[in-house]
Chains A and B, each alone.
Chain A
Amino acid sequence: RKEVEQDPGPFNVPEGATVAFNCTYSNSASQSFFWYRQDCRKEPKLLMSVYSSGNEDGRFTAQLNRASQYISLLIRDSKLSDSATYLCVVNELTDSWGKLQFGAGTQVVVTP
């Protein structure tokens, strides 16, 4: 079983619409959670951290459900520039280095 699982998509979203997707993680001892964005053939870039109480950053809202071991990302008022692959990332504090486990990503395609 993969450490971090995501629906690969693609999620085809009309411009201006809302899209949401989840990711599940297997290690209940995971400490920190993130959403990264990766454009085609580029490196991942941090979109936002995910806090226990849930948090918003502009049009992006992240939620964490520790009991069910999943995190979610919601994008409101989708823009064409939101088209990307969104990576769910979980930090397993197995040592002081903070090992990141990446999901395979959820592809979002925003259409005009």
Chain B
Amino acid sequence: GAVVSQHPSRVICKSGTSVKIECRSLDFQATTMFWYRQFPKQSLMLMATSNEGSKATYEQGVEKDKFLINHASLTLSTLTVTSAHPEDSSFYICSAKPLLLAGGSYSSYNEQFFGPGTRLTVL
């Protein structure tokens, strides 16, 4: 249980295009999903916290107009990188905090499950 998928796993695009990344919780509902970015040999950096049905909360330094987040349902959040540039090339990872784990056990409030990540390369 507690599987998170991301799509696409890899994307290469031209500078100036927009890229949408989907994050889905497959066997649980997640009221809260998180979007991270990781540059080579660096730590995961939280970009934003996405709550179902409300606006995302962005971390300091993350442009909300550039990284559009939509959390339309309890199992899906999307991150759109608008007008991507080479410096946006990175590994984007989502995580989801279960409302209820598969099998009926409750998650501790700390537990997050990570998607497999999306590797974005902007040419």
Interface residues in A24-80 by Cβ distance below 8 A to B read 31-32, 34, 41-46, 49
Which of chain B's residues has its CB closest to A31's CB? B110
Stretch in contact with the other chain, from B12-20, B38-46, B81-89 = B38-46
- Inside 8 A of B25's CB, which chain A residues have their CB? none
- Inside 8 A of A46's CB, which chain B residues have their CB? 111
Q: Interface size (B, Cβ < 8 Å)?
A: 23
Q: A4-B43, A41-B119, A43-B117 are in contact. Are A100 and B93 (CB under 8 A)?
A: no
Q: How large is the interface on A (under 10, 10 to 19, 20 to 34, 35 or more residues)?
A: 20 to 34
Partner of B44, one of A2, A32, A102: A102
Interface residues in A95-109 by Cβ distance below 8 A to B read 96-100, 102-105
- Inside 8 A of A31's CB, which chain B residues have their CB? 110
A91 contacts the other chain (CB 8 A): yes
- The 8 A CB mask of B72-111 against A (1 = contact, 0 = none) is 0000000000000000000101000100000000000111
A87 contacts the other chain (CB 8 A): yes
Which of chain A's residues has its CB closest to B114's CB? A43
- Inside 8 A of A43's CB, which chain B residues have their CB? 93, 114-117
Decide: B43 and A103 in contact? CB cutoff 8 A: yes
Which of chain B's residues has its CB closest to A5's CB? B43
**Nearest CB on B from A38, distance (A):** 9
Binding site for B on A (CB under 8 A): 2, 4, 8, 31-32, 34, 41-46, 49, 87, 91, 96-100, 102-105
